[in-house]
Amino acid sequence: MASVLGFGFNVPDCIPEEVPDDSPTSTTDLLQAISPFLSNVKRPEELPEEAVNQIAMLSGDGAFYMLLEEKVRFYLKICRRVETGYLLSRERATLIGMFARKRGPILLYRGYTNGYINALQGLPTNDVMFQPDGWNSWFRYAEQGNVECLRALMDTCAGSQATFSVKLKDDSSGYSFANVTALMIAAMLDYPDVCRLLLDREACMVCTGRTTALMIAAWCGSLGAARVLLDKEKGMTKSRNWTALMEATHSNNPELAEILAPYESGKKNASGWTAMMIGAARGHLDVVKKLVQYEKQMTNKRGDTAKMVAKQWRHCSIVDFLDEYE
């Protein structure tokens, strides 16, 4: 599978254990199987009970374990439609909660605690013990956007300065991310209220590749979260000198590029490329329009401008637009 510029990771193809051979073999398959129930769903809380019943019919309790325990890469851009198959999503968290309400006790036999099972349902707990799935209640509340329960858990941990983090691993390739924080998960899922709650505790922390929560928000198109994170994390760079603006540009998020440009424009990555050059190479005209006032006439190590880059990649609309500036 081809990697993508920026985060540069591949989509996993994990096959969890204890799932019957004739059942769906990934969370993506499960979500696609219940897509008829989700076609008119606008918010996760609108997911119908029939969705859980359909999953249970397809693969029994194995579906619950799969949703809960499948190792997936956290970087994936969050979508609101199931057909693109992104694995960490609000919908997935909601399905886990629905399963936990119906079948939670079975998790006790796999070593999960009662407190964590309550957290999966969105109920309060002071249990922060790490569980067999590698998460604890702290991360599940962030995944749910559950501000009240997370705030209560923070009060429980008030005497401790420890910050929780998880390691997310794609079993198919062995590639993993260490030190992923709840703030990063909230940024990915665009929960600005959760980001605001966690900001003082977890801002400016980095995971693998020196990636920040703001960079994740920029990549995922999480506009609300990015606005919360901007003041604390603007100007930070990850490996190869990539900025949050470059992530927004690469993933074609013009609104995010617009709010980040006043703070991060004019910077170059390790290859000497600006954010506008990245947008020009990708054919992202709307992003280029947001950046042209900041980065016009800049050149990379080869002496190429963004217009030259666009011409090399045969993005004629961008070449035409940049004629006036370069």
Instruction: Give the per-residue pLDDT at 174.
Output: 47
243-294 pLDDT tens trace? 999 999 999 999 999 999 999 999 999 999 999 999 999 999 999 999 999 9
298 contact partners, CB below 8 Å, separation of at least 6: 266, 268, 274, 276, 277, 305, 306
How far apart CA 59 and CA 38 sit, in angstroms, is 19
Q: Is 166 helix (H, G, I), strand (E, B) or coil?
A: strand
pLDDT at position 54 over 80:
no
Assign 91 a pLDDT band (cuts: 50, 70, 90).
confident
pLDDT exceeding 90 applies to what percent of the chain? 55
pLDDT exceeding 70 applies to what percent of the chain? 71
CATH code 1.25.40.20 for 129-233: yes
- Computed over every residue of the chain, the mean pLDDT equals 80
pLDDT at position 26 over 60:
no
CATH number of 236-325: 1.25.40.20
E strand or H helix at 139, and its extent? helix 137-144
Q: Where does 1-89 have alpha helices with state H?
A: 27-33, 35-38, 49-59, 61-69
Higher-confidence residue of 99 and 146: namely 146
- Residue ranges per structural domain of the chain: 23-110, 129-233, 236-325
Instruction: Give the per-residue pLDDT at 272.
Output: 97
* Burial class of 232 by CB neighbour count within 10 A (0 to 12, 13 to 18, 19+): middle
Q: What is the pTM of this model?
A: 0.81
* Residue 21: alpha-carbon gap to chain centroid: 30
